[in-house]
Amino acid sequence: MSAGEFYYEQKILENDLISLVPFDQDIHTSKLVHEVKTHDLLKFIPFPKFESNEEFIKSFWAPVRDAPGECLYAIIDKATARVSGESDAYAGTMALTATSKENAATEIGIMIFPAFQRTHVATNAVGLLLKYTLDPPPAGGLGLRRVEWKCHSENAGSRRAALRMGFEFEGIARWHRAFTLGDSAEELEKRNGTKGELRGRHTAIFAITWDEWDEKRPKVVALMERKH
């Protein structure tokens, strides 16, 4: 994604433990597709179904790559890379989506690969994006007014993570999303009252806003500085 297609420059965000680098189709696609095919990472995430690099690029990456308001980061675990001697440790993805310059608002999304779950990775990835989106421009941020976190209402882990990072629970949007991943048509209809393969999602909505960021920011930074 070029800077001209988004209202800010998509740049590397990093601290001593991780870095968020703009997603590179040639570098990051294969590992992402492998992780999704190997593990049940899409249970609660409305990604288009893909079985190959080509399907991922066509069904997900190509529409996102050039869309204003959308950007995708690869999470690199610098701490693991230092210990293992690897050149990098690709740990998952982080996204800003539905970003609106007019409304000064965005939504973040995160997918951590299983080997890096329950480590410092998620906390630092979310923390870096919160500082970038909510800090004022003189401090190097975008100065947005609202950052949302939306997840499947049944995704208890994601809901706990949102609260831990300082997001406020705002409610459930019923039948908010529909997607065709995972279960059989029979299981979907039994579980969600839908027809065919259309899975319905009740969405839990969380947010942090600019008028509470000054209070919440030190707590986010403290979480990032904890030794895990």
For residues 227 and 149, the answer to whether their CB atoms sit within 8 Å is no
Give me the mean pLDDT over the 41-45 stretch.
75
CA distance 207 to 9: 23
Mean pLDDT, the chain, rounded, equals: 85
Among the ranges given (4-13, 100-109, 150-159), the one the predictor scored with the smallest mean pLDDT: 4-13
For residues 74 and 23, the answer to whether their CB atoms sit within 8 Å is yes
**pTM attached to this predicted model:** 0.84
Confidence of residue 227 (pLDDT cuts 50, 70, 90): low
Give me the mean pLDDT over the 168-183 stretch.
77
Confidence of residue 188 (pLDDT cuts 50, 70, 90): very low
pLDDT one-digit tens code per residue, 50-81:
788 998 888 888 888 878 888 899 999 998 87
Residue numbers of the domain that contains 78: 3-225
Q: What is the CATH number of the domain that holds 145?
A: 3.40.630.30
Count of the separate structural domains present in the chain: 1
Q: Residue 102 gets which letter from DSSP?
A: T
